[in-house]
Amino acid sequence: MENPEPRAQYLNVVLRQIDRTSLRIPRFQRHFVWDESDVLELLESIKRGYPIGSVLTWKVESADGYFSGFRTEAFPEADERVTSFEVILDGAQRLSSLYGCLRHPDASPKYKIYYDADSDEFVHADSVRSLEAWHVPMSALFDSRSFLKVQGDIAALENGEALLPRALDLYATFQDYQVPIIALSNARLEDVVEVFRRVNSSGTPLSSVDFVRALTWRSNFDLEDTFDTLSERFRATPLDGLNDEFLIRCLSVAAGLSLDSRDVGQLKNLSLRPGGLSNEVSEMEAALDRMSEFLQRLAISGLSEVPYEAQRLILFGIMLFKVKLRPAEIEDWLWRSTFAEEYQSKPESYLTRLIREVKGGDPVRALEVRKPIEPDLFVGRVRRGGSAVTIGFDLLLRREKARSLLSGEVVGSSEGQHEYLFTREQLSEGTFGRVASAALLANLVLLTAHDALTWRKMRKNLTLRQMYEECERRTGDAAEIWRSQGLVLREEESPTSVLENRSSYLVGRVTGRGFA
C-alpha cells in the first residue's frame, strides 16, 4: 500500500465529485443514522470554521469487483461509465448530510435546512411556520442563480442592509471551506481492513462487520439481508438482540476461520464459490436454533443476558460442532464463568483458541473456569447494569422463581422492583463501616410493584424479622418465600451476617457450595 494521500479539497469540489459519482458510498455502509440535530451541528461547525474531521477513502477500479452496490439515499446513482472512483470508508454520514443539504434537499426532510439570517441560526423547514426572505435555503449556496435571487430578496427587506452581510458571510464561508480527505491507493485488501479496524472518527465510525458485509456481497447472496432475516427470526426468543458483529463471528467459526477480523479476505474468497456461503449460513442457522433451545431452559429472554461474547461464541461452537456434553455441564460452566468473570477483557486470539479446542473435541479445557468464586461475592458488588455479576444475579433470582417477600407472588426481574433489605445508614452502623451505596446485590430484593410500595412504608418502622413475620401472617409460607431469594433468617442477625449468609446461599445454588 502506498502512503496515504492526504489532501484538502474545497467543499464545492467534493460536491462535484459526488455529482460525477467518482466519490461513492458503498452499499455495506450503514443506513443514515444521524438525526436532524446532528445535521444542524455539522452545518454550524462549518459556519464557525471548525474542523469536521477527515474523510477516509479507498481508490478502486470497477474491475476490482469489491463493491457490487452503492447507497443512493442522498447520492446519485453510480455512473457505470466511471471506472475509477473512491469509496468512502469513514465520513459517509458527514458527506451524505452535506450533499443532501447543499445539492439534494428533496432526498429527505432532514436535508431541508435554511439559514435564518435574522436569528443567525440554522433551522429545519418543518420548524418554520412561514418561510420569509431572510430564510436562506442551504441548497442555494452552490447555485449561483438561486443565491442571486436570495440576495435580491434580502436586500429588498426593510432591514436588508443588516441581514445581507450575514448571508454573504455564510456564502463565502461555505465556498472557502476545505474538507480533509485521506485516500488509500494501491492497497491490498488486508491492508485496507487493518486501516479500517484502526480508524477513529468523531462521527459514527464503522465496524469491521460493515466491511465484511461488502466483501461477501453477491448478486445471489446478500449478507445484510441474511443477517436481517436471522435477527427477525430469533426475535422474542433467547437469542433476541442478535447483532451483526456476533453473526459475523459465528459465520467465521462455521467457515473454519479465526475470529480475527483480518480474516475477512478469506470470507470474501469463500463467498465467490458456487453457492457462496450458503452452506455455512445453513449450518450457522441450525446451530443458533440449538443454542436458542438450550438457553430457553435457563429462562434467558435475550442474548444480552449471556454477559460475555466469549460465552456466546463458545456456546455457539458447542452447538455447531455438536459436542457431546450434558446440558447440566454446559449450564454449570455458564454460571461459573459468569460469576468468576472468567472472560473479562480476553483478546480475539484467546477466543479463537477456545473455539478450536471445542471443535477438536476437547471441550473440558475450553470450559475450564480458572478464577475463584467467593461465597461473599454479592456482598461487595454494587448493582451495575450490564456487568456480568449483575446479569448473573438477576438470572439466578429468575431461575429460583423468586417470590415477592410480602405476597409470595412469583416476580420476574423485568417486571419486578428492587428494594433494600437495609438502608445505607444501617449498613454503615454494622461491621461494613461506611458504605457509599446501599445497592449491594446481596442487599437487593425483588418485589412486585404493590409489595414494593408497602415494603418501603413498613420497613421504616419494622425490623427485618418483623417483615418476615408479616409475610408469614399474610401467606403462612414465609420460609419458602424468603428462601426463593436466598434469605434464611436466624435470630438476632446483624446486617452483615444477613447479607453474607444470603450471598453464600445464592452462590452455593450454582456452585454446589464447592467454593474455589
The predicted structure's pLDDT at residue 31: 64
Q: What is the three-state SS of 351-412?
A: HHHHHHHHHCCCHHHHCCCCCCCCCCCCCCCECCCCCHHHHHHHHHHHHCCCECCCCCCECC
Task: Mark whether 109 and 179 lie in a shared domain.
Answer: yes
Number of domains observed in the structure of the chain: 3
Euclidean distance between CA atoms 213 and 231, whole angstroms: 15
Residues 330 and 250 in one domain: yes
Q: What pLDDT is recorded for position 357?
A: 92
Spatial separation of the C-alpha atoms in residues 282 and 289, rounded to whole Å? 11
376 in a domain, yes or no?
Answer: no
Buried b (16+ CB within 10 A) or exposed e, 365-378: ebbebeeebebbbb
Report the pLDDT value the prediction gives residue 132, as an integer from 0 to 100. 94
The most confident of the ranges 59-68, 395-404, 430-439 is 395-404
Q: Find the mean pLDDT for residues 276-304.
A: 94
Evaluate if residue 399 carries a pLDDT over 60: yes
Most confident of 92-106, 200-214, 221-235, 406-420: 92-106
What pTM was estimated for this model as a whole? 0.68
Whether 351 is covered by a domain: the verdict is: yes
Average pLDDT rounded to a whole number, residues 285-308:
95
Residue showing cell 432475516: 229
| pLDDT tens, position by position, 163-207 | 999 999 999 999 999 999 999 988 776 677 667 666 644 444 445
- 333 and 465, same domain (yes or no): no
In angstroms, the CA 205 to CA 91 distance is: 8
Per-residue model confidence (pLDDT) at position 387 = 95
- Read off the pLDDT of each residue in 495-505 and give the average, rounded to a whole number: 94
Helix (H, G, I), strand (E, B) or coil at 135: strand
Inside any domain, residue 378: no
Phi, psi at residue 425, to the nearest 5°? -65, -40
Q: Which domain holds residue 436?
A: 388-511
User: Residues 39, 170: one domain?
Assistant: yes
Query: pLDDT of 444-474, one tens digit each?
Result: 999 999 999 999 999 999 999 999 999 999 9
Tell me, what's the pLDDT at 122? Answer: 97
- Strand pairing class (84-90; 417-420): unpaired
- Asked if residue 161 and residue 266 are part of one domain, the reply reads no
- End-of-domain residue from the set 308, 334, 366: 366
Q: Are residues 50 and 69 in the same domain?
A: yes
With respect to residue 380, please indicate whether it lies within any of the assigned structural domains.
no
**Cell numbers describing residue 123:** 433551522
* Residue matched to cell numbers 470474501: 268
Same domain, 12 and 117: yes
Backbone φ and ψ of 45, nearest 5°: -60, -45
Residue at which a domain ends, from 204, 224, 240: 204
pLDDT at 330 over 50: yes
Q: Using 50, 70 and 90 to split pLDDT, how confident is the model at 214? A: low
359 and 485 in one domain? no
Q: What is the pLDDT of residues 15-55, one digit of tens each?
A: 999 999 999 988 766 666 788 899 999 999 999 999 999 99
- For the cut 70, the answer to whether the pLDDT of residue 160 exceeds it is yes
Residue 373, in any domain of the structure = no
> Which of 196-205, 221-230, 265-274 shows the lowest per-residue confidence on average (mean pLDDT)?
196-205
What pLDDT does residue 165 have? 96
The predicted pLDDT at position 203 comes to 44
Q: For the chain, what's the residue count?
A: 516
Kindly state whether residue 375 falls inside one of the protein's structural domains: no
- Lowest average pLDDT, out of 79-83, 103-107, 274-278, 457-461, goes to 274-278
Cell of 332: 454449570
Query: Tell me, what's the pLDDT at 428?
Result: 85
Residues 281 and 303 in one domain: yes
Q: For residue 515, what pLDDT is reported?
A: 34
Task: Please report which confidence band the pLDDT of residue 248 belongs to, taking 50, 70 and 90 as the band edges.
Answer: confident
Ranking 139-143, 162-166, 349-353 by mean pLDDT, the lowest is 349-353
How are beta strands 417-420 and 444-447 bridged, if at all? Answer: antiparallel
The predicted pLDDT at position 414 comes to 65
Residue 516 has pLDDT above 60, yes or no: no
Q: How crowded is residue 327: how many other Cβ atoms within 10 Å of its Cβ?
A: 11
In this structure, of 52-61, 190-199, 377-386, the range with the lowest mean pLDDT score is: 190-199
Identify the pLDDT of residue 6.
84
Same domain for 180 and 166: yes
Check residue 26 and give its pLDDT: 80
Q: Look at residue 489 and tell me if it is in a domain.
A: yes
Which of 281-295, 327-341, 499-513 shows the lowest mean pLDDT across its residues? 499-513
| Choice between 460 and 208, residue whose per-residue pLDDT is larger | 460
Is 328 inside any structural domain? Answer: yes
Tens digit of pLDDT for each residue in 359-373? 998 888 889 999 999
pLDDT score for 202: 41
**Percentage of the residues of the chain whose pLDDT score is greater than 70:** 89
Last residue of a domain, one of 157, 174, 204: 204
What's the whole-number average pLDDT of the chain?
88
Whole-number pLDDT of residue 514: 38
Q: Are residues 21 and 61 in the same domain?
A: yes
Q: Could you report the per-residue pLDDT of 434-452, keeping only the tens digit for each? A: 777 899 999 999 999 999 9
Identify whether residues 169 and 186 lie together within a single domain: yes
C-alpha cell at 506: 445464592
